[in-house]
Structures are given as C-alpha cells and as structure tokens.
Chains A and B, each alone.
Chain A
Amino acid sequence: ETGVTQTPRHLVMGMTNKKSLKCEQHLGHNAMYWYKQSAKKPLELMFVYSLEERVENNSVPSRFSPECPNSSHLFLHLHTLQPEDSALYLCASSQDGVYEQYFGPGTRLTVT
C-alpha cells in the first residue's frame, strides 16, 4: 500500500533531541490522523485533522506537537520525549463521511 507514506520508518532519539515525523497521503483524502501503537495496548488516537483543522486532541502531552500544512501532509514534532514514548506511530487518512481509514506503515520510535 503506497497510498499513505511515513518517514522515517525508524527513529532513535535522546530525551533532549527534537525530531519530526512526516506523513503524506496520495489518496485525495481530507482527514488525517496520528495514532500511537504500544505493545499489548490498544491503538491510541492522538490527533485528528479534518480539512486542515485539528478536531481531536486526546489529552496528548505537549511534547507532541502536530502540524497539518495542507490536506496531503501531516507532521508530528517531537521534543523532550520520555522512554515511555517509545512506540510505533501510525498515520492514517480518510475521506469525511466514509467509513474506512487508510494507514501508513508507521514510524518505529525509540527514545533512549
């Protein structure tokens, strides 16, 4: 599936670093999402953007900062992360009013 791409695929960062995750969708959708996937825990919805406006922020710590410059691109800016933030971060997109979300392959983040 190349409809939703994410870069980088793997990222190792120290707790004092600043990095960004990038997501791009080539499907013409108008909603984009960030999810966190940790081992043995349900997928956690972090942020939802619809028509480039943030419509959901699930009590995510401020060390995670999303940005949606247009309907095709979504970023997750990271700073001062904790080891418990290590996880797979998944991006998804959908078309408003349509039931299916399309997922990217994820970025495996390790915080040391």
Chain B
Amino acid sequence: GEDVEQSLFLSVREGDSSVINCTYTDSSSTYLYWYKQEPGAGLQLLTYIFSNMDMKQDQRLTVLLNKKDKHLSLRIADTQTGDSAIYFCAETNTGFQKLVFGTGTRLLVSP
C-alpha cells in the first residue's frame, strides 16, 4: 500500500529557515499536502501542490516536489516561535476523500 515517511523531529532557531522533508511511495499521487497541528488542536491545511508542479510559494512557505525521487519538502522562511507545531505530509491518488498521512514532524523553534 501507499506509504508516507517523515523524520520525527526538527529543531531550529527563531529567524532561521526550516526545511521539513517527506518521501512517499505512490508514483501516481495527484495531490500532496502539508498540514499543521498545534497543541490541543486539529490539523489545519497549510498548502498543497498538484503533481504536475515542482514548486509552489505562498508567503513564507515554499513547497518543492521532486516526482522522480518521490520527495516533498516544506520550507518555512524566517521561522517564528508560533510555527512550533507538528507538520504532516499527506498524499492522495484516489480522490480527496482518502488521504495517506505521514507520521508528522515536530518542529521546535527556540528564541
């Protein structure tokens, strides 16, 4: 079946850039997503990318997609303490109802 993998933890200093990585196995993925989960809250969609794109930028967020290597990354510029959260990568190829999520990467931003 499909599999999505992420590293479990990333620590950065405030003001630095953060890069969170994700690899997936399904070569027919059509949409790939980044969700953010703050403590005590549900998941919030940050951004998404279609599989026919290789980059998407949205304010401080940059998503890079390497379809050949099945690698997705999320870059957060000028990381703030409020960015501390768990970030989930997800993909789908069977329609928007069936998303396959990674384990999540916990980002800790220190002052």
Contact = CB atoms under 8 A, between A and B. Distances in A.
Interface stretch (B12-20, B55-63, B68-76, B97-105): B97-105
Contacts of B99: 45, 101
Contacts of B100: 42
Interface stretch (A13-21, A65-73, A77-85, A102-110): A102-110
Given A1-B41, A99-B31, A105-B40, A42 B98 contact: no
Interface string B26-50: 0000010101000011111100100
Contacts, number: 58
Contacts of A97: 96
B97 A100 contact: no
A92 B96 contact: no
Nearest to A33: B97
A43 B88 contact: yes
Interface residues of A, number: 27
Contacts of B88: 43
A56 interface: yes
Contacts of B96: 94, 96-101
Interface in A12-50: 31, 33, 40-43, 45, 48, 50
A33 B92 CA distance: 15
B43 A103 contact: yes
A48 B97 CA distance: 7
A55 B97 contact: yes
Nearest to A91: B42
A58 to B, nearest CB: 9
Query: What are the nearest 9 A-B pairs in CB distance?
Result: A103-B42, A43-B101, A103-B43, A42-B101, A105-B42, A99-B96, A104-B42, A100-B45, A42-B103
Given A43-B101, A92-B43, A101-B43, 6 more contacts: A42-B103, A42-B104, A92-B42, A101-B96, A104-B42, A106-B42
